[in-house]
Chain A
């Protein structure tokens, strides 16, 4: 099967990332870390705000490099997933009494505990989905973590909105099954 290579598809973390992703990643981490040290209690960890701020800072510094919004969004959506999942994990550790419960993480915890989605399980399921259909994984990231509409997602991946719509529906059913399977196993 030939999967169209979407921009940012290869980005998994700073080690393999393009310069762009590395910058964005560092920046998001820096903002998040500042938040965790309790430096900025006025900022609840709104992911949009987080990416927003990272973009603003980077755009100011690297004006010329930011032509490709699609690449930026794809990378941002992926990194957003990593960061939110990390927060969810940290919160779990904090609940179990290990580690430190940082100030902002409570807020992020609320966020990560959005109704009926376990972000850690979703993350694992997305990894599994990646192995069978990379484009579906990307669509879920762009839609769910990046907040893109069907049309924007289609534009980002260079495919038709109808394709995104179909893939999105199948991917959702697939992920829903994976997550309910976990729920059964755990109970």
Chain B
């Protein structure tokens, strides 16, 4: 082999490339001239030129595509009783032949599976059973299987021989929309029949959909399906490899299959949605240059809408709606069954579908079908209505800042309270019937609670910021001009009944309750640490709905409705994150609210007053608040962009922005200055993710894992976090390694874990927990496991945004007791003592080496840090916290370094835009 140097290769390449640009006949002469005086170079170039001509087919196909196995059977050979006529085609799952069955004098199709397939008896038996089950369906839209056999270990399937082409081939020519819908309808019927037997296809795509002559569509390859009760489904570990994801084409797989989760009937409906979309649009809804991108698109992107005009389709919007519903990311948001879809498609095609061939049971079946049809009709009407017109959005607020609430007036104008360009709240009106110009309504320092039918305002005169939100005096005032009348103190939410009475959420001693009328307690949340907002009285005044949040300082929760006739309370929605705002529908049958099922994928949800499944009305990539619904169906929604930054202030007062992504919030600081923080914005897939970074601006952050980080061990090696827990389950704890190592989970054991701090030994920690039926206390726990040990009496107040404060020697912990005061508890032995002379409302943040506590008050108008000697109890202002006032919502969490020299706080700025939306259903 000649030792070519890179430089030489480069020269040869340049000459060769130039030569290849000119006609072949002149190439050799060109090379001769170009290499004049360098015989070696000339020889090399000429040799490569020669090989270029010979290499036309060399490596021309990627290695995987050259790997077609040869046909194993020749024409005229026999397979069992069958005579092979000719090979028809080959695919990943075997070769297909046309064969003759002399016993019945008919031609059949035979699919010969790879020999390796025959090595696994269990798998083979399962395959045979399923193939037979599907084949025996004898459904016109499913390929009929005649026989199943084995030859030299290689299994084969004998089926009816179809003449026609696969849908893949058919799609090489554009398909009319009518034909596309007719095909999809047949596929849906075939799927429906299989699903009824518990057989899921799992790999539906144009390659295994066959369009036979005459336009009858058949689903092939049900052999890949897995019976739900097959033993393999329970085989540990076998599940993922059996999930079928590998064998499917990424472009047709459902999101759950892409995530390698089990596939169900809804997965087939998704795949059918993709096929239908492709038939209508000529391209798949989720595409990418490669399968990696395609899978990402399947998981994250919405399908682009179909054309607004489709010849022959009476209601293209409804068809688009149906396709989009097939393509819903969540299986339970798709059509409930393939049969429902078939019925809907039938109506959309605008003509009666060909009748199914009748069989013996026809009369009975017709009766059943009639009932099913009635049931489906309701669904159909709903679907058609929903897809009728796209919603339109009209912006009604225009300045920079935060909108706290917006309501329609009786005449359909919009009133809202906002803090524009700074911290002061004010009241404004936008006339949607007129110029859309915003008019200030005076009333400085008032926030809007509600507008009555007679256009009376319920206002909040804010007094303090608590974990229940802003709490203040409730005042009523006329919309136009006139004095304010104070009605109650300590109110965090309020609404008017249709007959002009006020309902309010009042917060006293850290607990929320609903009063209706004011002064009469209607409802107290079962969890003392929870809170209530989004309070709304129903249009005819017979019920009150609200958002119930079981954990303070956490917007997760659900919708509860209290019936005023018998005061019975009922939870009517699923559990959601980021719940913001609620409004009754004008008919009073249900409520709409803004919430996220996961992450920041906000949506407006509709919950029925009598329960049942929630319905997604619309989804958005922003935080949203459901503000109000007007009687004409217009909806007010506020969208919020939320930025949480992380500001470190050093000993000399220098502030550094250490934000990493869009929602960085400090959670702990280790003695060496490492910062544990959380991200929870658009950059995260889960609710919270844990990160670690250094204190200087240029140090990169490391992602530790999923979960809300709580505490960093003093050596910086381990973080304690709340992993994402299933809805309704108590929060557990996990240990995340900051370097190499495996993460570890601690079982929740019925205790909701809401905060943690390491003890100095690095082998045990303190956590805040709520055991079943008890109020909160602090516990000590070894990382080696074992039962937790209660170190405080029940009745501790701890918020997620606050740290657990352990003394430097680890012997004591400072906690807020239920009366709002600070007490010192021993972690092992000794007597608890309260901090004397200290008024309630302080939250400890750090225990300094000099024995002083750094504290904060969440309710101060001018936020600052305080220092305090726990023996004397006289707090001294220590540092003022400053931040950009525009849209400033919050400055917490705050953490102080263990040496009490620097601190980090997390200002959250919210910028809101409110829209009036028509066309949401």
Contact = CB atoms under 8 A, between A and B. Distances in A.
A144 B289 contact: no
B74 interface: no
B908 to A, nearest CB: 23
Contacts of B62: 143-147
B59 interface: yes
Contacts of A106: 116
B746 interface: no
A173 B290 contact: no
A43 B246 CA distance: 9
A72 B292 contact: yes
A40 B49 CA distance: 46
B1 A181 contact: yes
A151 B290 CA distance: 11
B51 interface: yes
A143 B59 contact: yes
Given A44-B116, A143-B59, A173-B55, A132 B6 contact: yes
B17 A53 contact: no
B52 A52 contact: no
Nearest to A172: B55
Interface string B44-63: 00011101101100110011
Nearest to A155: B289
B59 A174 contact: no
Contacts of A66: 292, 296
Nearest to A168: B59
B123 A56 contact: no
Interface string A158-179: 0000000011011011111110
Interface string A4-43: 0000000000000000000000000000001000101111
B743 to A, nearest CB: 12
A57 B240 contact: yes
Nearest to A51: B291
B59 A42 contact: no
B92 A63 contact: no
Given A43-B246, A117-B59, A143-B59, A56 B685 contact: no
Given A111-B63, A117-B59, A169-B52, A178 B290 contact: no
Interface stretch (B8-16, B495-503, B627-635): B8-16
B703 A147 contact: no
Nearest to B70: A110
B19 to A, nearest CB: 10
B51 A176 contact: yes
A64 B5 contact: no
B30 interface: no
Given A44-B116, A155-B289, A133 B69 contact: no
A140 interface: yes
A53 B47 contact: no
Contact of A166 (B20, B59, B67): B20
B477 to A, nearest CB: 50
B542 to A, nearest CB: 46
Contact of B245 (A53, A72, A107, A116): A53
A147 B55 contact: no
B331 interface: no
B205 to A, nearest CB: 14
A166 to B, nearest CB: 5
Nearest to A57: B260
A16 to B, nearest CB: 18
Given A55-B295, A143-B59, A176-B55, A110 B67 contact: yes
Interface in B82-116: 92, 114, 116
A147 B65 contact: yes
Nearest to A61: B260
A174 B6 contact: no
B862 interface: no
A73 B291 CA distance: 10
A44 B59 CA distance: 22
B13 A133 contact: yes
A69 interface: yes
Contacts of A82: none
Nearest to A115: B66
Given A169-B20, A172-B58, A176-B51, A46 B6 contact: no
Interface string B649-678: 000000000000000000000000000000
Contacts of B22: none
Contacts of B52: 169-170, 172-173, 176
B454 interface: no
Interface in A107-121: 107, 110-111, 114-117, 119
Interface string A49-82: 1001101110110011010010011000000100
Interface in B768-792: none
Contacts of B1: 128, 178, 181
Contacts of A173: 16, 48-49, 51-52, 55
Contacts of B26: none
B292 A116 contact: no
A147 B119 CA distance: 30
B59 A132 contact: no
Contacts of B433: none
B578 to A, nearest CB: 20
B703 A64 contact: yes
Contacts of A48: 64, 291
Contacts of B247: 49
A57 B63 CA distance: 23
B120 A42 contact: yes
Given A110-B67, A114-B66, A133-B13, A52 B246 contact: yes
A107 B116 contact: yes
B16 A132 contact: no
Contacts of A170: 13, 16-17, 48, 52
Contacts of A72: 292
Nearest to B684: A64
Contacts of B67: 46-47, 110-111, 114
A21 to B, nearest CB: 15
B63 A47 contact: yes
Contacts of B65: 147
B414 interface: no
Contact of B9 (A42, A119, A133): A133
Contacts of B58: 116-117, 172, 175-176
Contacts of A41: 116-120, 123
B888 to A, nearest CB: 29
Contact of B92 (A44, A103, A133): A44
A110 to B, nearest CB: 6
Given A49-B246, A73-B292, A42 B13 contact: no
A131 interface: yes
B20 A144 contact: no
Contacts of A174: 48, 51
Of the listed residues A80, A114, A128, A181, the one surrounded by the most CB atoms of chain B closer than 10 A to its CB is A114
Contacts of B290: 69, 73, 148, 152
A157 interface: no
Contacts of A175: 55, 58-59
B642 interface: no
B10 A133 contact: yes
B258 interface: yes
B63 A44 contact: no
Nearest to A182: B1
A53 B123 CA distance: 19
Contacts of B295: 55-56, 59
Interface of B: 1, 4-10, 13, 16-17, 20, 47-49, 51-52, 54-55, 58-59, 62-67, 69, 92, 114, 116-120, 123, 240-241, 245-247, 250, 258-260, 288-293, 295-296, 684-685, 689, 703
Given A106-B116, A170-B48, A175-B55, 19 more contacts: A34-B241, A41-B117, A49-B246, A53-B241, A55-B292, A60-B260, A64-B685, A69-B296, A73-B292, A110-B69, A111-B63, A132-B6, A143-B59, A144-B63, A147-B65, A166-B20, A170-B52, A172-B52, A180-B54
7 contacts: A84-B63, A132-B4, A132-B6, A140-B59, A167-B13, A170-B16, A180-B54
